[in-house]
Structure 1
């Protein structure tokens, strides 16, 4: 049984045993309950007496309904404190679909995909096993992806002859803001260097920007990587896409997202056979989101989520601060905290197995997030799944079991 299979077995058992989840990046029921009122109000607005049946219930425009894109662009511009152009937006059925759409339309089997090490544990397998890409890990540091290592790998792997009809010969999958699993955000210097590197090597950077708006330490999140790729630059080509979703800021079940992309990619996606077949993806879901935005229902809900997640984040950080020698970076937002245990002999997967067997707490072992199986002395903790009192109990239990583990290692 490999690492991921062992991890999946532990996840299943943790749910059967009723463990407190510091593992899942999904909202607790208390975060979802307000969506009942939001959806009812949106549906009342959408299904009014003079509803346009063709506009509402038929296939939608390939790029997504113009009103949807307008409302999303307006909302994102306010939240980012940075202009988002509706012409750069494409409606998707969520962030996972966005990655699938980009990779399937723009790239073929065996295409090189460079990913952070560590990275989002499910996406590394999806890219490799489901999308059949050649996944190549890239080093990371406290500022984000190691651009020097990426530049070296791109130089080594770049083919001598790139077909003329290939917009990019490879892609880079990243989570630049409130990273999954490490919680950090790329520094401005890293962002600028990454843009320069992508232009130099003619590759596409796919940013999983699903956590950006969950900012706790400031009114606005760090600048998204897409905005560093300035169209007024003399060497501009269009090397970044921002892949966003309403699953983290509204509710997972809505399955509506967006791709923010340069014109060269918008044109390719809009004219693909996938969109020609049936128009935009999840058109009706997009109509619901449009009403939610028009009625100004999302911004207050987002503030509610941020307040709750920030409280859980503080509980975990305050507790971790009481433990000597544990290494972690306090995230400014998002769902995750990356903890490094100061003992290279610790096996985080075995630590998880013991915790689950004891019916206590669950988390993600570091080696499950690494394409190379590294970071076995690290864990990813999540603030999302449990209410605050369960988070407090869970992190205190985690610390207690960590101390027992260290005592055992030292004896």
Structure 2
């Protein structure tokens, strides 16, 4: 894999330079200065929160654990890495820069964070400085110019071959761990022990993962972001929802699967129906597909499943128009993914910024752009039995067209979500997740 990344990296770096040249010109800046960031200290304590590197920093090079470091890019010049490698016996010192990317950078090693100032451009007013305020050193305070960020965020949606290679590996790592988690569920493990099995298989700490794992048994599957991890297994494990990913050199995978216990045949039938619908949505991740329209199409398809399986007695069109479908599918179809699990630019109108509004009645959709080749998005429809939303539905006139006995029976299963990471193609999508499952 390293040999492949080494071949792909020069073109990736060239693409970043080209984008940065245009972004700087738009903003009237001469230099792009990117801070890796600094750990934040917990309130009234001396303990740092887990460090999360600036995504703009790891876009340029596969380094995620070098707080206090900086990248400087000036059009027409070789990019510079100012790398903090402190003299420190309290903590592990970052390794010296090494790997396929090193030859493409001018590298300056510093021992104290303030030493970076000597290696940064002198005319601060001509710099676009990207990062958090906490990364500032002296007068070098991140200014995050909107014109520069808008341009970079717009184009970050289009993945280079190098980035797609990173994300394929992240998918394989996540799938390997998903298999271990499913096996733990089948063996009757608790949520905590299932999570432990996942971590052991992915070989990443919780802080290295792209997001906190969702490991939900039975009714807990109805909590969209359930993260409590009960230590004791339930008396009967009827269902299992796992939403968990992996990181590879700063790139994320985001994978969700739902499993039924062997005795829960009626729930398995609903899983199969959602899985079939999800695969049909994946097929539409093609050039020219409007993501918001795909989200609305998913509502109609899922409402059709609810009707076909006897949960509602109204048409799919009526269920969507009245908001009934949103009681069972209350979140968005998915989001952009890459350097961040919920990547930037999902609502952006164009290179200059602006916003493409969400469809009325769908506040939780995370993307409204039209799909184009090299974009990577998640496709994650779901059906849930959420007490709060069901109680609200019962108070509406449409409640008469809901089969409440069946809905109440399915509350024991919590819900279903199935999620793949999908790269948009000219004619056919690439399903990174299912390809990884097939390979495993």
* TM bin (shorter chain): under 0.3
TM-score (norm 2): 0.24
**TM-score normalized by the length of structure 1:** 0.25
Larger radius of gyration, structure 1 or 2? 2
Flag the structure with more relative contact order, 1 or 2, with Cα contacts below 8 A and sequence separation at least 6: 1
Structure with a larger share of its residues in helix: 1
